[in-house]
Structure 1
Amino acid sequence: MRRFFHQVSVLWSSVFLSCGGLTLWMLASTSLGSYLLIGTAASYSMIGVAIVVSLLWFRRSLGREGIRLHLPFRATA
């Protein structure tokens, strides 16, 4: 598990470094309107993908340790 948390920390630092770099580049090279539209969408998209990757990666890491994750809320019909 220690390895997972180290690797997921690297993932998140990369995501935020990329978002920061994208922000600086877009502010320097595009109009404010374009930045607000494209920059916000790109940042939210990168963060959303990182959330999904982190959750799947965590579940996989738990499985390697022999731990099954049961979610308490399930839809019943």
Structure 2
Amino acid sequence: MDQAKCCVYPYLKEIGDLVGIEFNLTHRIARKTFASAVLLYNNVLTEVVSRLLGYSKLQTTQESYGRLRKRGLVWRLIN
């Protein structure tokens, strides 16, 4: 059994149960949530997000999360 299944998934299931999420949380969902909700929406620099996620190229982060950054900026402008 790989490390994610034996160590991370039980914690994700517990978190999901506590907050009432009715589908299986995966490490991919956890990474995306961490990157978007915790980092990008709190104005952490894209370069820092890229390093924390372990990407070797900044371009990967920009392609994956750039639209989220733009959406967050628009939301702040209208609210």
TM above 0.5, yes or no, is: no
Identify the TM-score tier after normalising by the shorter chain.
0.3 to 0.5
Which structure has the bigger radius of gyration? 1
For normalisation by structure 1, the TM-score amounts to 0.35
For normalisation by structure 2, the TM-score amounts to 0.34
